[in-house]
Amino acid sequence: MEKKSYSPIQVALEKDKRYAWCTCSHSNNQPFCDGSHRAHNATPSMGFSVEENKEAYLCTCKRTSNPPYCDGSHK
C-alpha cells in the first residue's frame, strides 16, 4: 500500500482565476478538487481566487489554519 504524502504542493496561481481546493483528501488531483468528495460523502471543495499572479504552497494534509495555504501543520 502506497503511503500518502502530506507535503504542500507548490502551484502557480493566476490573478482572478477561480480555484477549487480539495478539503477532503479524496481527490486524485491534489491540491485541487476533482469531485471525489461526492462519492465519499465528504466535505465539498473550497473556492478561492488570488488578486495577483503568485506562487503558493497549498495544503494537502487538510489541517492548515489558513486554508488553502500550508501553515506547516503536516509536521
CA 41 to CA 5: how far, in whole Å?
22
Instruction: Tell me the three state secondary structure of residue 38.
Output: helix
Question: Which tens digits make up the pLDDT trace of 41-63?
Answer: 999 999 999 999 999 999 999 99
Question: Which tens digits make up the pLDDT trace of 18-36?
Answer: 999 999 999 999 999 999 9
pTM summary value? 0.88
Q: What is the CATH number of domain 9-58?
A: 3.40.5
pLDDT of 1 > 60? The answer is no
CA 17 to CA 47: how far, in whole Å?
10
21 within 8 A of 58, measured Cβ to Cβ:
yes
